[in-house]
Amino acid sequence: MSLLDRGESISDEALARALDALAAVYHDTPSGRPSDAEAEPPRDDYRLIRQHVGRIFPDLGLYATADPLEVPNEEALVGDAIDDISDIALDLKEILWRWQNLGADDAIWHFRFGYQTHWGRHLHGLRFYLHAKQF
């Protein structure tokens, strides 16, 4: 999140390092428990986040991808690096809100669940794209 908060252009290498560190944090984080509280985090405007991310990463865009569980894969899929970063940022902002308002257990549970079901897929698709661009 701090990379995005600066508002300045970020290199592909710095983004790759941040994504690698984020994935490592998932693996080093113990399980948590979701809160029983009815509180819902505020919803941020996706369009505003996406515009901000697009300004910070002007050289990132669409990339080819495929379903790794479908072999042979006959359907070409397209990933969107700006969408990936935007979704990861939105999910992490929600986790931060949960930490501040519902406690560590709830935030950790949502952090791990989100990695397994949503933002982790964005992270690894984006990381594969960055690797291809770098090497």
Q: Which residue has the higher pLDDT, 69 or 121?
A: 121
Name the 3-class secondary structure at 29: coil
pLDDT at 5: 78
Q: How far, rounded to the nearest angstrom, does the alpha carbon of residue 48 sit from its chain's CA centroid?
A: 16
Q: Which residue has the higher pLDDT, 108 or 76?
A: 108
Bridge partners of 113, per DSSP, are none
- Where does 7-118 have alpha helices with state H? 12-28, 46-56, 81-102, 104-117
Domains and CATH numbers, the chain: 2-134 (1.20.120.1550)
Distance CA 125, CA 63 (A): 9
Q: Is the pLDDT of residue 3 over 80?
A: no
Q: Is the pLDDT of residue 6 over 80?
A: no
Nearest to residue 79, comparing CAs of 68, 70, 71, 90?
68
